[in-house]
Structure 1
Amino acid sequence: MNRPFVLLLSIVIFAGCSQTGSVATTAGITSSADLSSHGGKMELRGHAFPPPAFNAFCAAEPRLCSTRGDVKTLELTDAHMAELHAVNRAVNRRIVEQSDLQSVGREDDWRLPGKVGDCEDFAILKKHELMKRGWPASVLLLTVVTSGGEGHVVLTVRTDRGDLILDNRTDAIKEWTRAPYRFFARQSQTAPGKWDRIAAASGAS
């Protein structure tokens, strides 16, 4: 990984979560028929450093930190799509967005939230809820992005129809190439506990 990227990623992660409501709206996916024919799978560019609070989170919640498993992409059936929509909406409504500094008195604290949380806490809870429904941890990857220069965390769901994004800022589920973010890094599927750098998508928003 080159040094400028390492420095930029550190800045992105320490910046915290971007605020709800500042993302331009784009159409979401309601069924597998809405997906692009090219599949929309992320291309990776080697390893990246994990967010600073990630290791402490893994020590506290190893099951939710895990990406172990033989399944690398899940078949996206209509039933699976319905589950994604149900979990995304339910978590977005259940948790009140609040910064780590406000909720726990310190910045950059990753955890399974109760009633309040910031962007990574929403993503962690969505992973937790999908795993309870039988989804493998190996296809549910915490992912660092930026929006307007501010750091943000979403959940990437790897399917046979492409990589989909669950986000606390919208109930719409989007293909990653159509999400209004710049993608930086995600949990590695091949090296548990590590992160991979994401290549820029051609034609992405």
Structure 2
Amino acid sequence: MPQPALATNTADETQQDFAIEYGPARPPIGFVRFCAENPGDCKDRTSRARRITLDQERWALIDQVNSYVNGKIKPVSDMELYGEAEHWAYPVDAGDCEDYALLKQRYLLGLGFPREALLNTVVLDEAGEGHDVLTVVTDKGEFVLDNRRNDILRSRDTKYTFLKRQSQVNPRQWVALVKEKTITSGTVTSTPAQ
């Protein structure tokens, strides 16, 4: 996959390339359980927001991880796999959208990418259904690693509505990406904390 254009963006394009955070949000229940079962992967540590410098080498690694995980893991619902509506786990050979995102995050962390730039993100897809992707925050904008496609798109180029995601400063905290008080779709709820 070709690397995104490295040209300087206009002010309007730059604003569109980075999500606006509207305050705290409740994390998905599956994420809360995942952290209880994998505390080392959800360490409470406060850091600073970071963007990775996107060069050809990093882009190639991001592309390889996205394609590898998409090809390795068979898409299966949590209900089929675990007998429950929402269960977050590292997949071995099958899983659903958040499992793909967790595994991509794990691989990229292992390759030296900073955790602050690898954010699990809850979206509504084109059909209004809840979906999870991994957002990679770079100096060239935010990019989406999605189990539904091998192409890596800028967030603004997807047809998704971005609801909430992990905070860059603490992996256990989540932030709202919408102003609305409540958006619900299946087991995905984005309610900014009061």
Output the TM-score relative to the length of structure 1: 0.78
1:70 Cα offset (Å): 4.1
Q: Is the Cα–Cα contact under 8 Å of residues 44 and 199 in structure 1 kept in the other structure?
A: yes
Q: Indicate how the Cα distance of structure 1 residues 106 and 36 shifts in structure 2: closer, same or farther if over 3 A, else same.
A: farther
Structure 1 unaligned regions, length at least 5: 1-28, 201-205
RMSD of equivalent CA atoms = 1.9
Closer/same/farther in 2, CA of residues 31 and 56 from structure 1, 3 Å limit:
same
**Out of 132, 142, 160, which is 1:163 matched to?**
142
C-alpha contact (below 8 Å) 1:66/1:138 kept by paired residues: no
Q: 1:112-151 alignment to 2 at 5 Å? A: 112-147=90-125, 148-151=127-130
Partner of residue 32, structure 1: 4
Report Cα offsets for 1:20-70 as digits up to 9, x if no partner: xxxxxxxxx721326782330111111111111111111222343358544
Distance 1:71 1:189, change over 3 A: closer
Instruction: Tell me which amino acid in the other structure corresponds to 1:56.
Output: R
Question: How far apart in 1 are the matches of 2:66 and 2:8?
Answer: 21
Q: Give the residue type in structure 2 aligned to 1:157.
A: V
CA contact (8 A) 1:67 1:187 kept: no
Amino acid across the alignment from 2:5: A
1:125-168 CA-partner distances (Å, limit 9, x unpaired):
00011011111111100000011111000000010111110000
Q: Which residue of 2 aligns with 1:84?
A: 62
**Matched ranges for 1:71-110 at <5 A:** 72-110=50-88
Q: Relative to structure 1, is the Cα distance of residues 92 and 106 closer, same or farther in structure 2, using a 3 angstrom cutoff?
A: same
Amino acid at match of 1:184: L
- Matched with 1:49 is 26
Q: Secondary structure at the match of 2:144?
A: strand
Q: Contact 2:145/2:152 (CA < 8 Å) preserved in 1? A: yes
Q: Structure 1 67/131 Cα, relative in aligned 2: closer, same or farther at 3 Å?
A: farther
Q: Report the alpha carbon displacement of residue 180 of structure 1 after superposing the two structures with TM.
A: 1.3
Task: Classify the secondary structure of the residue corresponding to 1:114.
Answer: coil
Q: Can you list the C-alpha shifts for 1:47-94, whole angstroms capped at 9, x where unaligned?
A: 111111111111222343358544611000110100111000000000
Q: Is the 8 A contact 2:49 2:168 kept in 1?
A: no
User: In the alignment, is the contact (CA less than 8 A) between 2:6 and 2:140 conserved in 1?
Assistant: no
Structure 1 equivalent of residue 160 of structure 2: 181
Gaps of 5+ in 2: 180-194
TM-score of the two chains, using structure 2 as the length reference: 0.82
**In structure 2, the residue corresponding to 1:111 is in which secondary structure?**
coil
Query: Which residue of structure 2 aligns with residue 18 of structure 1?
Result: none
